[in-house]
């Protein structure tokens, strides 16, 4: 009888946990749908194919962990004014989750990703994240080469910059781009892959006000990257 009560209690706890998680996920979907309606985005609760634009790029985030999932997708065609020119592309915002480890060591990571893709972009692939004690150790353990710039110690101490083609990345990161990120106040990770860019705050789902703020941040990042790719 005691054994039956024990297992009954376990099932009850598991059931309540799953119910709460489902309720939270449903509320998040409603929140994202409201953001889309208010700000002119198309909304899809699950993958309508738009996310393929992002996942087809060789992003580090998309190749981390396992059991990844994309939900609550906002998308719109977006034009970005850069001087006298206009860059046309697609902005896609979505909640992205994945798991690290397994069993008791399994840690789900959930973040809101804001991305932009345009045929008018041609960028080297790089990954930029703020440098901290933990991230520095992890980078060394997994063999990530941190690209530093002697003339810009502030940038090199602030960020871990990595990518497959170090020479191309060094050439791309000129004085203007290095100063831009040196003085950057927002805590984000930036990834590029040819004609697309995405930013996110690690393991943070953004609220409405933050989504609008970071959408503007992404636009600033796209502008400076586009200007640099033009050699300006």
Q: What is the pLDDT of residues 83-139, one digit of tens each?
A: 889 999 999 999 999 988 777 677 889 999 999 999 999 999 999 999 875 565 565
Do the domain assignments include residue 19?
Answer: no
Do the domain assignments include residue 2?
Answer: no
Do the domain assignments include residue 89?
Answer: yes
Q: What is the three-class DSSP state of 79?
A: strand
189-193 β-sheet, strand order: 42-44, 66-82, 85-100, 107-117, 196-200, 189-193, 127-130, 159-162
Do the domain assignments include residue 33?
Answer: no
For tokens 């003339």, what's the residue? 151
CB 94 within 8 A of CB 32: no
Residue 115 domain boundaries? 40-229
Do the domain assignments include residue 69?
Answer: yes
Q: What is the pTM of this model?
A: 0.85
**Rounded average pLDDT over 156-166:** 93
What pLDDT score does 19 carry?
A: 41
Q: How many of the other CB atoms lie within 10 Å of CB of 136?
A: 13
196: nearest Cα among 56, 100, 64: 56
**Distance, CA of 12 to CA of 113 (rounded, Å):** 35
Do the domain assignments include residue 7?
Answer: no
pLDDT over 90 (residue 40): yes
pLDDT over 90 (residue 227): yes
**Rounded average pLDDT over 61-73:** 87
Q: Distance from first CA to last CA of the chain, Å, rounded? A: 77
Do the domain assignments include residue 34?
Answer: no
Strand locations in 101-141, DSSP E?
A: 107-117, 127-130
Do the domain assignments include residue 125?
Answer: yes
Dihedral sign, Cα of residue 105, residue 22, residue 20, residue 113: positive
**Distance, CA of 197 to CA of 192 (rounded, Å):** 4
Q: How many domains does the chain have?
A: 1
Q: What does the angle CA 170 – CA 176 – CA 182 come to, to the nearest 5 degrees?
A: 85
């Amino acid at each position: 009888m005691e054994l039956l009560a024990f297992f009954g209690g376990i099932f009850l706890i598991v059931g309540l946990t799953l119910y709460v998680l489902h309720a939270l996920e449903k509320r998040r979907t409603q929140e994202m749908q409201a953001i889309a309606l208010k700000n002119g985005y198309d909304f899809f609760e699950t993958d309508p194919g738009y996310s393929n634009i992002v996942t087809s790029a060789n992003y580090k985030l998309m190749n981390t962990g396992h059991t990844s999932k994309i939900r609550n997708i906002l998308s719109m065609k977006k034009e970005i004014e850069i001087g006298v020119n206009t860059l046309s592309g697609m902005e896609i915002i979505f909640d992205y989750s994945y798991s690290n480890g397994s069993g008791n060591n399994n840690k789900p990571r959930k973040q809101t990703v804001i991305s932009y893709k345009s045929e008018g972009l041609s960028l080297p692939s790089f990954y930029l994240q703020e440098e901290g004690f933990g991230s520095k150790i992890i980078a060394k353990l997994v063999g990530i080469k941190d690209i530093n710039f002697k003339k810009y110690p502030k940038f090199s101490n602030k960020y871990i910059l990595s990518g497959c083609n170090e020479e191309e990345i060094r050439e791309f990161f000129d004085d203007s781009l290095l100063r831009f990120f040196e003085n950057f106040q927002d805590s984000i990770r930036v990834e590029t892959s040819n004609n697309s860019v995405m930013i996110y705050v690690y393991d943070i789902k953004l609220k409405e006000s933050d989504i609008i703020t970071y959408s503007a941040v992404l636009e600033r990042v796209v502008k400076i990257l586009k200007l640099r790719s033009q050699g300006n």
